[in-house]
Amino acid sequence: MNKEIISNTRTGEKYTRIAHDSGLEILIWKTPGQSVKHAVFGTRYGSVNTTFKTDADPDFVTVPNGIAHYLEHKLFENEDTDVFDLYAQTGASGNAYTTFDKTCYLFSCTDNFIPSLKILLDFVQKPYFTEETVRKEQGIIGQEIRMYDDNPNWRVFFGLLEGIYHNNPVKIDIAGTQESIARINADLLYRCYNTFYNLHNMTLAIAGDVDENEILALCDEMLIPSEDKGLVSVVPDEPYEVAVRYAEEEMEVASPLFSLGYKTTPPTPEDAVKYNVLCNIAVSLIADEITDFYKRLYDEGLINSMFSSECFIGDGFFVPIFSGESRDPKRVAELINEEIERLKKTGFDRELFEMTKKAYYGSIVRSFYAPGNIADVLINAGLRRTGNAFSEMEAAANATLEEVENFLREKFDTKNYSLYVVKPC
């Protein structure tokens, strides 16, 4: 077992990183005096990881969409009990989530932390699937898929991804489709579990007023050692151009919803944090509420308070996005493109840049004050496998105006965008 203290001179914060003999990375951030404790057990396995191989595989295999999310559901059931019933006995609140590139199981509690952690480590390492229980879950997840298909905000987001990408599975709902989940069986679930739920591919993140020695003693007792299988997961090759420039659908909405995204080459894992920081600063400087451009769109009645921007970034995908509600989405997209081209020539206002950078930096620092947020920062850093929990804060602190301007010129191609609109029936 190798142990190191990772600290930051700007804030004085620190946490412990343990490379456990089982293969698991364990991250522990102590918050003395705080009553709430959080634990997250995560794996680098999300909805985009449908094509993969290990050292034991002769070639890459592709499995149906939605298996990562399916596994998340099924792990909460074992042969004789339900995990939530066990958490109820310790007073912990348990949950889980699957994203495009990770799956995480978590709980929070004020008391009985070690008994609750024992439940977490136990059920995540003990899958139990039968053909009967798998078929039963297909109906439940199928209903979930239909529910999201009826959600206009969900549809406008995935409609954009369908327009951006030709082949990348990120354009498919995290839960999969009715057709893809119908092909999932117990054997496929076990294969994906044994491939991605290898401790070398996982991280345990803990934040709170906890006893590190107790945690490590429990991990020594419960973690089942695994061999590194040389896992490689890939996404299909993508052409540079978007798949569809414009598409729309009709739903029961009061006003049109839109999502505008710019396709660009995704970063390497080493560059992902910096990309994310530069992108977030850039989209804020283009169209945040404090900009003259935002006020112009608002005053002309083209947007309202629902307007927002984000940087959609992960394993094999990267899209700067502007979205909201508008009576004329095409005009909004046209004006955003014009504003981006103008800013490429003039650059950003330095005072506005400094203000935006400080606000962004401050939001990161504030996330270090609550155990729940800290656990999220830790698990994201651990599963990223590059940098540490302070990497985003450092990238924000060191970002320069010139870097953000260059990023805008290189990554916001106004000839390579897609616009998706959900309009009233």
Spatial CB neighbours of 299, under 8 Å, sequence gap ≥ 6: none
Residue 228 pairs in a beta bridge with none
Instruction: Identify whether 249 is a catalytic site residue.
Output: no
H helices present in 18-170, as ranges: 67-75, 83-90, 113-124, 131-149, 152-164
Measured from the Cβ of residue 54, the count of other Cβ atoms closer than 10 Å reads 16
Instruction: DSSP letter for 268, please.
Output: P
- Of the residues 4, 13, 25, 72, only one is catalytic, namely 72
State the Cα–Cα distance between residues 264 and 266, nearest whole angstrom. Answer: 6
State the Cα–Cα distance between residues 40 and 375, nearest whole angstrom. Answer: 7
State the Cα–Cα distance between residues 343 and 84, nearest whole angstrom. Answer: 52
Q: Is the dihedral of CA 408, 411, 415, 421 positive or negative?
A: negative
Cα Rg, the chain, nearest whole Å: 23
Q: At what angle do helices 272-287 and 329-346 cross, to 10 degrees?
A: 110
Q: Where are the beta strands (DSSP E) in 153-299?
A: 202-208, 232-234, 246-251, 257-262
CA angle 411, 397, 17 (to 5 degrees): 100
Instruction: DSSP letter for 267, please.
Output: P
DSSP reduced 3-state for 30: strand
DSSP 319-381: EEEEEEE-S-HHHHHHHHHHHHHHHHHH---HHHHHHHHHHHHHHHHHTTSSHHHHHHHHHHH
Count of alpha carbons within 13 angstroms of residue 361, beta-carbon side: 15
Q: In the numeric block, which tokens belong to residue 109?
A: 């509690």
Q: In the numeric block, which tokens belong to residue 53?
A: 């191989």
Residue 29 pairs in a beta bridge with 207
Instruction: DSSP letter for 282, please.
Output: H
Active site residues: 72
